[in-house]
Chain A
Amino acid sequence: MAQVLERPAESKTPAAPSPAERTARRRALLEWIAVHSLGVAAALFFTLPFVFVLLTSLMSDSQALSRDLIPHTWEWSNYRKVFDTPGFLTWWKNTLIYAGLGTVLTVLSSVPVAYALAKFRFRGRNLTLMLVISMMMLPPQVVVIPMYLFWAKQLDLSGTLWPMIIPMAFGDAFSIFLLRQFLMTIPNEYVDAAKVDGCGDLRTLLKVILPMAKPGIAAIALFQFFNAWNDYFGPQIYASENPGAWTLSYGLESFKGAHHTDWNLTMAATVLVLAPVILVFFFAQKAFVEGVTLTGVKG
């Protein structure tokens, strides 16, 4: 191997390199090889689960129970079978309602709060911020008993998506914190200039801050969408009694139940839950980069 590594070096510099140069160069090349082999090994660790899930989702029923890794016949109809399963399309619809409506409400309610925390000076601001952070860190299980009793017994809303959606109209702690951090990077001079021009607080927020805050808002919208999409505990508490209100993340597990040993169909369903998230990522990654470079409001 060493000879292969030296050849291009010698063709460049006809004069024989000094021994020190030679060891340095050899070391650099060995490091390149080591780093990239490690990279490939890590890439396999991160990618192979996806590959095996995808391959199994395309196997026949009997083959999914065997130890084969590659499908003999490619059963694309597995995906149609998943869509034909009663409830699957309803779960899609519910998830989109939960994630979509929840995201819109979170953004609408969190933006003014984050703005006040970032740009207003008032007594108790640090205390408010600390409470926001504490709420962000709070496991949902801590308050779930009274919350469940509130939604189910007092408002009779269990078996619907509303106990999960309505709270999002009142600001989400993580979104507030993230957006506040983002707004802190926008210089106060913009706010002051708007004031001088006679803008009220609301106009300043809508006309001056919001256009600059787009990347931050995109980030909280994305996080909130993923949170709702991934949520298992919420639907388990509030929607489990009514399969008509299940979401994809919650229904997916029951899929395994309904089709005991059908790993192929279960994995096809898993792919169908995974795929949108990954698609959104590739789509939104670009929006992120664009947003950051377009605004460019640093210092």
Chain B
Amino acid sequence: MAATYTLKAKHRRSRLRTLAFLSPWLIGFTVFFAYPMISTVYFSFMHYDGFRPPTWSGTKNWKYVFESYPFFWPALRNTLWLVVIMVTLRVLFGLGIGMLITKIKTGTGVFRTLFYLPYLAPPVAATMAFAFLLNPGTGPVNSMLESIGIPAPGWFNDPNWSKPALTMLALWGVGDLMVIFMAALLDVPREQYEAAELDGATPWQRFRYVTLPNISPIIMFAVVTGVIGAMQYYTQPLVAGKVASGVIQGAGTSFQPGYPEYSTLTLPQLVYNLGFQRFDYGSACVVALVLFALSMAFTALLMRRRGGLIQAGD
């Protein structure tokens, strides 16, 4: 096969052929990624409100975002909270549910489907459902908690509980992780468990020294993709805040994001707030670049040359 590809006569034709096949994406990459990426950098140094032509403003936008824009640091803190707490719990819960499903011997298919379905729920619908379920006044969850004498929290209406409520929503949609963990767990060689058992390993030791090393690439994968997901977390906190605060949506509605008290504010929401509510496109681009730097750092982790999880290879 190698011989056909290295023939000089065919070389030019094969290059044209490759370009032809790649062309949809090459155009898409240029128009929808390279060009806007360069523009984002350009606008981050410009003052631009979308009406008057852009004017050079140096590092003014950068100073504004980092020093005076009141939402930036709370949003970054919230994003870090989500990265640490939400991602950790989701990975642990996904692993737990994945282990549980491999142990279930009766009605496996039914259980697996039930565990998986919430993952498919559209984010807006799932968030609306949770805003209703956790509604402090009439929500069924608080009704049940109070009926067994547990003081009911304010969930999406209480700044201390809004992020835990979002975390519960994220745990509910853990079906994707369950599936990949299940596949990884079933791939662990049975002989290793048998050998460990012969050596008298306790269940914890078997998990620690057999299961864990075997599935650690998948755990890494779940962590990194989870972190990138947390960077992009947008629809759920926004909709939860809107529904809980009772804001009516529509064209021209201004909604102070992060209800209650900045507690559900994430970085992507700032791009929207600065760009499309305040018409400060320059500062919005600064936040966009911060977001870009963070997500690319984690993407690099995912693609490290050695020990990376996504390899080009063939």
Contact = CB atoms under 8 A, between A and B. Distances in A.
Contacts of A32: 105
B69 interface: no
B5 interface: yes
A115 to B, nearest CB: 6
Contacts of B50: 149, 153
A49 B172 contact: yes
A35 B99 CA distance: 10
Given A142-B291, A171-B24, A49 B130 contact: yes
B299 interface: yes
B132 A263 contact: yes
Interface string B104-121: 111000010011011011
B228 A137 contact: yes
B151 interface: no
A71 interface: no
Contact of B24 (A66, A169, A267): A169
B124 A35 contact: no
A12 interface: no
Nearest to A45: B172
Contacts of B247: 257
25 contacts: A35-B100, A35-B104, A36-B104, A52-B133, A112-B24, A130-B303, A134-B299, A137-B299, A139-B232, A139-B234, A139-B295, A141-B234, A141-B291, A142-B40, A145-B43, A146-B39, A170-B32, A188-B1, A232-B123, A249-B125, A257-B247, A257-B249, A257-B250, A270-B128, A274-B122
Contact of A49 (B36, B111, B118): B118
A240 B43 CA distance: 24
Interface string A180-196: 00001000100010010
A283 interface: no
Interface in A34-54: 35-36, 38-39, 42-43, 45-47, 49-50, 52-53
A50 B40 CA distance: 41
A258 B248 contact: yes
B125 A273 contact: yes
Interface stretch (B84-92, B205-213, B238-246): B238-246
Contacts of A43: 111, 114-115
Nearest 3 A/B pairs, CB to CB: A170-B28, A257-B248, A146-B39
B288 A112 contact: no
A176 B118 contact: no
A135 B123 contact: no
Interface of B: 1, 4-5, 14-15, 17-18, 20-22, 24-25, 27-29, 31-33, 35-37, 39-40, 43, 50, 97, 100-101, 103-106, 111, 114-115, 117-118, 120-125, 128-130, 132-133, 135, 138, 140, 143, 172, 228, 231-232, 234-235, 238-239, 242-243, 246-251, 267-268, 271-272, 275-276, 281, 284-285, 288-289, 291-292, 295-296, 298-299, 302-303, 310, 312, 314
A145 B281 contact: yes
A169 B299 CA distance: 25
Contact of A253 (B117, B124, B303): B124
Interface string A223-247: 0001001101100110011110000
B117 A281 contact: yes
Contacts of B14: 120, 122
A229 to B, nearest CB: 6
B129 A49 contact: yes
B314 A184 contact: yes
A69 B145 CA distance: 13
Given A112-B24, A170-B24, A176-B25, A139 B291 contact: yes
A120 B10 CA distance: 13
**Which of A35, A69, A130 has most B Cβ within 10 Å?**
A35
A266 B132 contact: yes
Contact of B250 (A50, A116, A254): A254
A53 B132 contact: yes
Contact of B292 (A38, A138, A176): A138
A241 B299 contact: no
B124 A125 contact: no
A137 B302 contact: yes
A56 interface: yes
B288 A144 contact: yes
A274 B120 CA distance: 8
A31 to B, nearest CB: 8
Contacts of B231: 139
A109 B133 contact: no
A35 B115 CA distance: 15
A142 B33 CA distance: 9
A53 B131 CA distance: 11
A267 B129 contact: yes
B22 to A, nearest CB: 5
B247 to A, nearest CB: 7
B123 A145 contact: no
A253 B291 contact: no
B172 A46 contact: yes
Contacts of A167: 28, 32
B288 A270 contact: no
A172 to B, nearest CB: 8
A162 B246 CA distance: 31
B232 A252 contact: no
A142 B314 CA distance: 31
